[in-house]
Amino acid sequence: MPQRLPAPSLSRSRGLLAGICLVIGAGAAPAQAQNTAPLSAIDWLRLGDGQATPGAYPLTPPGTLSGETDISVRALDALRPEAVGLFPASRVGLPVSLWGATPANALAELIRALPSDMLPALRDLSLRLLLAEFNAPLSEPGGTQGATGDRPPGFLLARIDKLIEFGALDQAAAILDTLDPTAPLLRLRRFDIGLLLGDEHRACAGVLIDTPPINDAAALVFCLAREGQWQIAEQVLSQAIETQSISGYEADLLTHFIEGDERLPGSSTLLPPPVGTPSPLVWRLLEAAGDPVATLGLPVAFAHADLRGTIGWRAQIEAAERLVRVGALSPNRLLGLYTERRAAASGGIWERVRLVQQFDTALHAQNADATAAALLEVWPQIQAGELEVAFASLYALQLGQMALPGRARDLAFRIGLLSDAYETVALGLGQTDADPAARFLAAIARGLDPLSMGAMPGEIARAVAEGFGPDASVPQDTLDALAEGRLGEEMLRVLKEMGGPADPRLLAEGLATLRHIGLEDIARRTALESLLLERHG
């Protein structure tokens, strides 16, 4: 609980209280209305011409989109808020007119439908579309007041919500900070992000603005209390309880937060917690009351809170693994946690920690035999954690420079294909002693017809061969949409279809489409990941 400061006199705070009370009146929804099903997958988000010859494709820039990437903020000039981004479209090889003729509301629906769990290459493309600066899409029917009015554009809100769902909190916060919005929904999104990142001061900055009112009594009470405005916080809370504009559970938690009484959450004096994911505010209030909720079973966005260094080493590692898995944290950050100290126990995650340390030590000692043995031992643990691409980004280059024996050499080749240097790795493959599967994979990495060089069994391999073969075909509906200038819409549709449950037909068509529109790097990485990760998502 924050240190309680002397309450200001009501005479000095009358103006602030007058604006605050608007929250409790017509602007506040009844408590029952807060239980309607959200549009987002996250419970707590508030509502409100012919193919070119294979092998001749230029590669699109790979882009660096991890959570540790330097973020640059571009001037807005006269741009509409929907157009704001963290880097220019040209940096990721996409046209500034990407959204073309597609209405903003249609794009927003496609963004909301993007799967949260997809192959790393597809996730990276999704982040490019959400973060780059493109021309604003066609206005939504009826128009909006924009980020500076009461109602934000649905397209912008969909982007922010999907970034939160992906765990990309720093990037979502950077977009909102660039806009400095007054729209209550966007200010509340920034409030949620600040709570999850452990920056309550920044989280509350937008809540305490009273024009227009925030329309969330619980957030307002929390921020007033943190600012030492105890008397006003108590009055707002009392009025919110009377008007039922706050749930009974939140009211009890906030009373405990303000008064610091002896009751503990979960005791018989408190109402039972609501079903589903707690809001970031409820989660933070429970933590402040000494009854924290573990983030491991919550959406990945909550995992950021475990990186604050205030909890145990194991929880930090588990959180970092989750964030690295979805591309929201640099693999180097995870490696730093892995190698911070000796494993505290055996089995489970500690076995992965121990084996990563053993491998890292052997690799840095340049001992080929020890590295080979350690690699074969650690790789199943890396696969179990679905951290193969992160491992490749850390170690593929060094493994490629070592003369490893037998099975370790073959494994290092496949790990190299999961790295950004996949094409260089493929070019170094010796054709005389490589097996058909290795030649098949190398052909994909080079953008060639894989059946002309090798073979692999299975439906996924057949779909990849179709997408990279000389007879690869793009669906006519897609060609028609591209001819009408709906490039961004088609990219989102392909991501939605390829990111869902494994479907060989959609994979073949998606790969052919990605190559047709010039996203050769994404197509090659997606094909390689589909085969090497042995999962789809």
Max mean pLDDT among 149-153, 429-433, 515-519 falls in 515-519
> From CA 413, how far away is CA 438, in angstroms rounded?
8
Q: 167 is written with which tokens? A: 């765990």
Which residues partner with 133 through β-bridges? 88
> From CA 215, how far away is CA 26, in angstroms rounded?
9
- Token pair 């024009």 is found at 211
Supply the pLDDT for residue 353: 95
Domain ranges of the chain: 62-181, 300-338, 365-532
pTM for this prediction = 0.83
Share of the chain above pLDDT 90, in %: 64
Supply the pLDDT for residue 151: 59
Supply the pLDDT for residue 55: 32
Closest-CA residue to 237 (of 35, 281, 224, 226): 224
* Mean pLDDT calculated for residue range 449-468: 95
Which residues partner with 103 through β-bridges? 138
> From CA 331, how far away is CA 389, in angstroms rounded?
9
* Mean pLDDT calculated for residue range 191-195: 96
- Confidence label for 365 from pLDDT (cuts 50, 70 and 90): very high
Question: What residues contact 12, with CB distance under 8 A and at least 6 apart?
Answer: none
> From CA 143, how far away is CA 161, in angstroms rounded?
20
User: Count of alpha carbons within 13 Å of 231, Cβ hemisphere only?
Assistant: 11
Residue 182 · residue 209 · CB < 8 Å: yes
Provide the 10 A C-beta neighbour count for residue 470: 10
Give the pLDDT confidence of 275-317 residue by residue, as tens digits: 778 999 999 999 888 888 889 889 999 999 999 877 889 999 9
pLDDT mean across residues, the chain? 83
Helices (H), 136-229: 154-166, 169-179, 184-196, 200-205, 217-226
Give the pLDDT confidence of 491-503 residue by residue, as tens digits: 999 999 998 777 8
Total number of residues shown for the chain: 537
Share of the chain above pLDDT 70, in %: 79
User: What type of residue sits at position 437?
Assistant: A
Supply the pLDDT for residue 272: 60
- Token pair 């419970």 is found at 43
Supply the pLDDT for residue 308: 83
Closest-CA residue to 14 (of 272, 174, 210, 178): 210
Give the pLDDT confidence of 47-79 residue by residue, as tens digits: 443 333 333 333 433 343 443 444 444 444 445
- Token pair 């029917």 is found at 141
How far is residue 465 CA from its own chain's centroid?
30
Question: Cα separations (Å) of 1 from 94, 287, 334?
Answer: 48, 9, 31
* Mean pLDDT calculated for residue range 402-430: 93
User: Count of alpha carbons within 13 Å of 238, Cβ hemisphere only?
Assistant: 8
> From CA 222, how far away is CA 23, in angstroms rounded?
14
Supply the pLDDT for residue 141: 58
